[in-house]
Structure 1
Amino acid sequence: MKNVTILGGGIAGIEAAIYYRKEGFEVELISDRSYLFVYPIAIWIPVHVNRFDDATLSLDRLAARHGFTLTIDRVTAINAATRTVTLQEGGERTIAHLVIAIGAGKMKHEGIAHTLSICGEPEQSLQLKEKIDALIARGSGKIAFGFGGNPNDSSGVRGGPGFELFFNLHHRLKKLGIRENFEMTFFAPMPSPGARMGNKALGMMETMFKRNRFATRYGKKIKRFEAEGIVFEDDTTLPSDLTMFIPAGDGSELIKSSDLPQNAAGFIRIDGHCEIEEVSGWYAIGDATALEGPDWKAKQGHIAEIMARNAAHNSAVSFGLKNEPKKTYHGHLNILCLMDMGNGAGFVYRDDAKARLIPMPLVGHWLKMGWGWYYKLSKMGYIPRLPGL
């Protein structure tokens, strides 16, 4: 039986482990965490809609269910020339068939320690909850949410969860009857954050911001973060008692320090089949990769899962386990999300042909809540996974 080693226990890595097993491979998954953190539903942890455990899934349970081997360890080095991976506890290994799914690093901003991110380490969702609870107990405050960009690769920008948590916090403050005591501002260095969703979606977002009395600070680069707020490139400031900021994705230090082929941002260069350029038998998927495609392309979980399935399929073809054409991810590039707002949602879709945002009052919120449970149950194989979901 053919063997494969997968680095990373996130959405891409877990999907790869499941589908490589389906293709008949012996699979070892190496992760530095013992659980899968389901980031799309972590937006509700800071506002007491979900518990932390609701957004996690045990890797031990997944491994037992799907029949792959789990190793909890941290990767400290990758060397393509010698085809080796070094683990903190397990030492150096020679690996012939590897899948890298370790995710991305983050752009480094001065004073970033003064911020918290809903897309950062999972524990930050709990820290955000504590900060929000403290502000609510105080009864008033200045709240600033935002996200950043990467001039070397725009596909790593992740603003959706920031908007979602922003709207959910607004909804909670309204339910408590204290929304008027809080100044809520959204900031971003680009002139029109969210523009990749399309003009219609952007227009509807602007309308919702005006309706809910949200302030904005767009089009100014961030100079630094301070305990009291944000300083922009023109030395203007945005005072804040709570700053939630999602840095843009950047190549991780592990990848940047390796000899893997990389783009200017430090993401791994791959071909359409997800095989790493000039490193036969090694694949990379998800946020760790340099995507090829239109300017509006974005790294999302469903793209990572498509790449994972394709890598498993293409490996099976390469090893002669199946006689079918190889698959590429290019035709699957689109933006797809259900943007939750606490009391409803907006369905966002974009591809080369169209861009849509469909309002879904009330029912949209419950659909997204249901998706969280559906995702976990289907990942465990208790219910079938529907295409595209």
Structure 2
Amino acid sequence: MSRRVSIIGSGFAALTAVRELRARAPHVELTLIAPEPRLLYFPSLIWIPSGLRTGDALSIDLRDFLARLDVRFHAGRVIGLAEGGRRVITDRGEVENDALLIASGGRFLKSLPGIEHALTVCEGVAAAEAIRDRLAAMDGGTLAFGFGTHPKEQGAMRGGPMFELLFGIDTLLRRQGRRSRFKLVFFNAAKEPGKRLGEKAVAGLLREMARRDIATHLGHKVLGFEADRVKTEGGDIAADLILFMPGMTGPAWAAESGLPLSEGGFFKADGHCRVEGADKVFVAGDAGSYPGPDWLPKQAHMADLQAKTAVQNLLAALDGRPASARFKPELICIVDTLDRGILVYRSETRALILPPCRLFHWAKRFFEWLYLRPYRS
């Protein structure tokens, strides 16, 4: 009897799981569920404002990839689950399974007053292009950059792209000979922003800001936004353009899933990527809340590691075997500055940061090509 596995999502964790499943279980009946068969390469959205990348280059049609791996695609938006995850309910019908992997990603919190006045680069191509167009139309002014977290789940943040956007736009304005007409301000509720990267990384990033004459407004809770300012407990920041990455929460349909959720609204998982209390339901990537160190990142590399772990344990569950695989908590990122890159690494035993280097910028560009290669037609 053929075993049916459903995967929700079409991002990093979902596609890594597809490849891992096909390698380990070629005869499994595999269904991918997402609104459309497309991968958006989020890490390179930070290059759209400078023109280094276009939206078309980062949005990959997956139909050929899915056909090559004999994966059925169900086009639909998930609105809930039934029978403990054995049925996935979408706006275009239902999909039954014998095991389920949730890899749908999370979403940004939009609870701060006036959040509509801020642009969030990781919301997609349209947001990144809006930043590009707004910046190109400005003769000068103040640019405010910041990121937040979930008040009930402090690790639910994505700060790295904001450091990249900050340094990248600084580099772009210098190339254009316009930097003297702009004031750049970085704001954050924490006194040591980016601490999940490690203390050395925080110090290194703040040094880089000082070297680039970027002002900071740190240690003050963000209260909201207006069209021309960021409001904080430590005073307002006048701004002509606000670039802000809100904290994250789980997918909108999580509350309708019947599965246990963390305080931050993510699917509650154990170290094997199993959703607690659920039978043959696993989670990987930003949709989940996992045990581990307080710096456990929500990033593509971690999603890939979790996806591989989830697949191994999902197949074990289908065979009636206990889960044994665990993911390694690990943070690897290159904070790009448009012409250089700052390498940051952290594990449970080691943390390091290497200074800006042209090699790391090109390494990030090469990794993009290498990562997308299996999914391109």
Q: TM-score, normalised by structure 2?
A: 0.94
1:356 is aligned, of 349, 352, 359, to 352
Tell me which stretches of 4 or more aligned residues in structure 1 moved more than 4 Å. Answer: none
Distance 1:5 1:81, change over 3 A: closer
Alignment-derived partner of residue 173 in structure 2 = 173
Residues 142, 183 of structure 2: 8 Å contact kept: yes
- How many Å apart are 1:93 and its aligned residue? 4.1
Alignment-derived partner of residue 103 in structure 1 = 105
| d(CA) in 2 for partners of 1:94, 1:2 | 11
* Alpha-carbon displacement from aligned partner over 1:322-351 (angstroms, at most 9, x marks no partner): x8973111xx10211011111211110011
Q: Secondary structure at the match of 2:32?
A: strand
Alignment-derived partner of residue 59 in structure 1 = 62
Query: Given residue 48 of structure 1, which amino acid in structure 2 is its aligned partner?
Result: G
Q: Secondary structure at the match of 1:299?
A: coil
Query: Given residue 352 of structure 2, which amino acid in structure 1 is its aligned partner?
Result: R
Residues 155, 291 of structure 1: 8 Å contact kept: no
Q: Secondary structure at the match of 1:263?
A: coil
Distance 1:80 1:304, change over 3 A: farther
Query: Given residue 180 of structure 2, which amino acid in structure 1 is its aligned partner?
Result: E
Alignment-derived partner of residue 185 in structure 2 = 185
Query: Given residue 72 of structure 1, which amino acid in structure 2 is its aligned partner?
Result: A
Q: Secondary structure at the match of 1:318?
A: helix
- How many Å apart are 1:233 and its aligned residue? 2.9
Alignment-derived partner of residue 79 in structure 1 = 82
1:37 is aligned, of 21, 37, 40, to 40
Q: TM-score, normalised by structure 1?
A: 0.91
How many residues in Structure 1 have an aligned counterpart in Structure 2?
373
Alignment-derived partner of residue 326 in structure 1 = 324
| d(CA) in 2 for partners of 1:256, 1:319 | 26
Distance 1:337 1:109, change over 3 A: same
Percent identical residues:
30
Q: Secondary structure at the match of 2:46?
A: helix
- How many Å apart are 1:178 and its aligned residue? 0.8
Alignment-derived partner of residue 337 in structure 2 = 341
Write the mapping of 1:21-170 to structure 2, written as runs, cut at 5 A: 21-24=22-25, 25-81=28-84, 83-90=86-93, 92-107=94-109, 108-135=111-138, 139-170=139-170
Alignment-derived partner of residue 197 in structure 1 = 197
Q: Secondary structure at the match of 2:122?
A: coil
- How many Å apart are 1:252 and its aligned residue? 2.6
* Alpha-carbon displacement from aligned partner over 1:48-80 (angstroms, at most 9, x marks no partner): 011112212112122123221122211112235
Query: Given residue 326 of structure 1, which amino acid in structure 2 is its aligned partner?
Result: S
Q: Secondary structure at the match of 1:302?
A: helix
* Alpha-carbon displacement from aligned partner over 1:253-302 (angstroms, at most 9, x marks no partner): 21134321011111111222212111111111111111111122211211
Residues 120, 246 of structure 1: 8 Å contact kept: no
Residues 146, 244 of structure 2: 8 Å contact kept: yes
Residues 146, 187 of structure 1: 8 Å contact kept: yes
* Alpha-carbon displacement from aligned partner over 1:173-215 (angstroms, at most 9, x marks no partner): 0011110100101111111101121222111112111111001
- How many Å apart are 1:10 and its aligned residue? 1.0
| d(CA) in 2 for partners of 1:359, 1:67 | 44
Alignment-derived partner of residue 386 in structure 1 = none
Larger mean Cα displacement after TM superposition, 342-351 or 256-265: 256-265
Larger mean Cα displacement after TM superposition, 196-205 or 162-171: 196-205
| d(CA) in 1 for partners of 2:127, 2:163 | 17
| d(CA) in 1 for partners of 2:206, 2:128 | 27
Query: Given residue 26 of structure 1, which amino acid in structure 2 is its aligned partner?
Result: E
Query: Given residue 38 of structure 2, which amino acid in structure 1 is its aligned partner?
Result: Y
Alignment-derived partner of residue 385 in structure 1 = none
| d(CA) in 2 for partners of 1:82, 1:251 | 16
| d(CA) in 2 for partners of 1:316, 1:259 | 23
Query: Given residue 327 of structure 1, which amino acid in structure 2 is its aligned partner?
Result: A
Residues 84, 279 of structure 2: 8 Å contact kept: no
Query: Given residue 23 of structure 1, which amino acid in structure 2 is its aligned partner?
Result: R
Alignment-derived partner of residue 313 in structure 1 = 312
| d(CA) in 2 for partners of 1:344, 1:363 | 7
Residues 186, 215 of structure 2: 8 Å contact kept: yes
| d(CA) in 2 for partners of 1:294, 1:272 | 12
- How many Å apart are 1:378 and its aligned residue? 4.1
| d(CA) in 2 for partners of 1:253, 1:314 | 26
Residues 79, 260 of structure 1: 8 Å contact kept: no
Distance 1:80 1:285, change over 3 A: farther
Residues 10, 37 of structure 1: 8 Å contact kept: yes
| d(CA) in 1 for partners of 2:206, 2:95 | 52
